[in-house]
Structure formats: C-alpha cells, structure tokens
C-alpha cells in the first residue's frame, strides 16, 4: 500500500481520519458539538502551512492514514497565529471564560498556538501527528509513515523531532517506544507525555 505526498483532494479524507482517531485512537465525533474543530487544530494547519511534510497512506486512491508535521515548531506556531487562525477563528471563536466543555477546551487550544513552544524542546524543534484508521493499524503502515516523514524531515536540517501524546494512550506509547522515541522532561506537561527522537541527516535530492 503506497505512501504518497498529500494532495488537496485528500482534504476531506484527512478531516475524517482526524476526527475518527482523536479519542486516543478511537472515534471522537460524538464527543464534540462541532468535531470539525479537531482537524482545524491537528491536521489542516499542517497541510496548509507545511505541505511538503504531509504524507498519506493510500488505499486505491483514498487516504486512510497520514503523517503531518513541521520542521520548526516555533515558526509554525507564529504562522499558525498569523496565517491559519484568521481562516478558522470565525467558526471556532475563543472561549470568553475558563473553558469547561470539550469544545471550549479545543477552542482554547486553537487560539493559543504558542502553547506548542516549550524551552525543553529546543533540541527537538520538529514535531508530527500521525493517525491511521483502525483497519490499517498493526500492519507496519505506521512505521512506514514515520520513516517517510523522517526522510523528508532530514532534508530540512532539523536536529530532532518530538511528539506530544496523551499519557493515557498506552497503545501510542508502545508504538513510539518501538520506534526509538525517548521521554523528554517538560515542566508541568499536564495530560501529555513528550517523546523525542534524533533526525537522521539526509543528503541528496
């Protein structure tokens, strides 16, 4: 099953995959009044701002998984605020009080992209998101997506990569451990665990 670069025609499939895997790998569509806020945070800004680091797993022309990311989280967060947020803020306004509902919590994340920039991650400036539909897991596709991303990332010169995963998602932790990711110490990480990986240097075209 091929892995190929993201295409604009994959937008709706990526949107669907993000929602159907957002609850620790399970379907989150019933957990939000507007589940479209999830890909507005965790998927579409990457294909919009960093399309060269967006890849999909293709099953007969349909995207059934993806890996998306950026080589420079600080730059990405700044562009998220100035270039991406104005496109989606009207549909997903910032909460005016302390967020309490799931939608409000996600809206708060959407409107605070600077939360991604942590001093403890300076040596691992790149980050990624990877999701596969349930029927395509445990078949080597996740590792292949990560390898594809790392090859492309190596050409950017990024020294290290991090992922931020929900600590309770033990299945994801086992996946990252097998790939060689190791814990990164972050002050007050909340419900997240941060894992890092050196980026192999890639030469040539």
Query: Which CATH number does the domain housing residue 86 bear?
Result: 3.40.630.30
- Residue 149 domain flag: yes
pLDDT at residue 24, as a whole number: 84
CA distance readout (Å), 36 to 15, 107, 149, 166, 204 = 8, 11, 25, 20, 39
Residue 183 clears pLDDT 80, i.e. is over it: yes
The 10s digit of each residue's pLDDT in 80-133 is 999 999 999 999 999 999 999 999 999 999 999 999 999 999 999 999 999 999
CB-count exposure of residue 198 (10 Å: 0-12, 13-18, 19+): middle
The 10s digit of each residue's pLDDT in 161-170 is 999 999 989 9
pLDDT at residue 205, as a whole number: 47
Look up the domain containing 147 and give its range: 3-198
Helix axes 141-154, 170-179, angle to 10 degrees: 50
The 10s digit of each residue's pLDDT in 18-38 is 999 999 889 999 999 999 999
> Binning pLDDT at 50, 70 and 90, where does residue 6 land?
very high
- Residue 76 domain flag: yes
The two three-digit tokens of residue 41, written as one number: 């945070």
Q: Which are the contacts of 205, defined by CB distance < 8 A and separation ≥ 6?
A: none
- Residue 180 domain flag: yes
- Residue 204 domain flag: no
Strands laid side by side in the 192-198 sheet:
3-5, 54-59, 62-70, 126-132, 160-166, 192-198, 182-183
- Residue 205 domain flag: no
Report the mean per-residue pLDDT for the chain.
94
* 83 CB-side CA count, 13 A: 13
Closest CA to 56 of 5, 15, 17: 5
Q: How many CB atoms lie within 10 A of CB 83?
A: 12
- Considering the entire predicted model, what is its pTM? 0.94
Q: Per-residue b/e over 121-150, b at no fewer than 16 CB within 10 Å?
A: beebbbbbbbbbbeebbeeebbebbbebbb
> Binning pLDDT at 50, 70 and 90, where does residue 202 land?
low
Q: How many CB atoms lie within 10 A of CB 65?
A: 26
CB 37 within 8 A of CB 45: no
The count of structural domains within the chain is: 1
């Amino acid at each position: 099953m091929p892995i190929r670069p993201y295409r604009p025609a994959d937008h709706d499939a990526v949107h669907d995959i993000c929602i159907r895997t957002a609850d620790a790998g399970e379907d989150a569509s019933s957990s939000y009044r507007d589940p479209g806020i999830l890909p507005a945070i965790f998927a579409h800004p990457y294909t919009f701002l960093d399309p060269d680091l967006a890849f999909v797993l293709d099953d007969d022309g349909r995207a059934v998984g993806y890996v998306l990311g950026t080589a420079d989280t600080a730059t990405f967060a700044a562009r998220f605020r100035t270039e991406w947020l104005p496109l989606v803020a009207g549909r997903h306004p910032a909460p005016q009080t302390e967020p309490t509902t799931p939608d409000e919590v996600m809206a708060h994340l959407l409107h605070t992209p600077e939360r991604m920039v942590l001093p403890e991650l300076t040596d691992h400036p790149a980050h990624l998101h990877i999701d596969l539909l349930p029927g395509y897991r445990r078949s080597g596709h996740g590792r292949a997506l990560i390898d594809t991303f790392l090859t492309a990332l190596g050409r950017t010169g990024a020294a290290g990569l991090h992922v931020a995963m929900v600590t309770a998602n033990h299945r994801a932790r086992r996946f990252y451990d097998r790939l060689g990711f190791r814990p990164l110490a972050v002050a007050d990480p909340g419900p997240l665990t941060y894992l890092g990986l050196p980026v192999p240097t890639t030469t040539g075209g």
